[in-house]
Amino acid sequence: MKTEVTVTSCVPFTTLQLDNLKNDLNKMHNGDFLLVNKIDKNLLGGFTVRVADWFFDASLSSQLSKLKQTLLLA
């Protein structure tokens, strides 16, 4: 049974990008994954990946949020 992976981005992933990500996920978690690409303009750029409880955030909104925290703590 394939494990569903939610990939969220501002613009749709290309097939190549999805394949590359699937390969990397296999290396990391060693499983059979079904990638579902969702669009969310609030990410501003980049993407996020969720596999069950595991979450990876490579979005620009996340980067901006970290930058904001850094500036506020400065």
Partner 1 sequence: MEKLGIQPIQLLAQVFNFLILMILLKKYLYKPILKMLEDRKKQIEAGLRNSEAAKQELEAAEKKKADIINKAKLEAGQILEEAKKIGKKLEKDIIEKAEKQAVEVIKKGKKELELERVQMEKQLQKQTVDIAMAMVEKVLQQSLTDQDQQTIINKKLKDFAKLTK
Which residues would be at the binding site for partner 1 (CB under 8 A)?
A: 9-11, 13-14, 17, 20-21, 24, 27-28, 41, 44-47, 49, 56, 58, 60-61, 64, 67-68, 71-72
First to last CA, the chain: 48
The residues pairing with 35 across neighbouring beta strands, listed in sequence order, are 5
Minimal distance, residue 40 CB to partner 1, in Å: 12
Map tokens 């930058």 to a residue: 67
Minimal distance, residue 34 CB to partner 1, in Å: 18
Contacts of 59-65 spanning 24+ positions with Cβ under 8 A? 59/8
Query: Of the two residues 38 and 41, which places its CB atom closer to partner 1 in the complex?
Result: 41
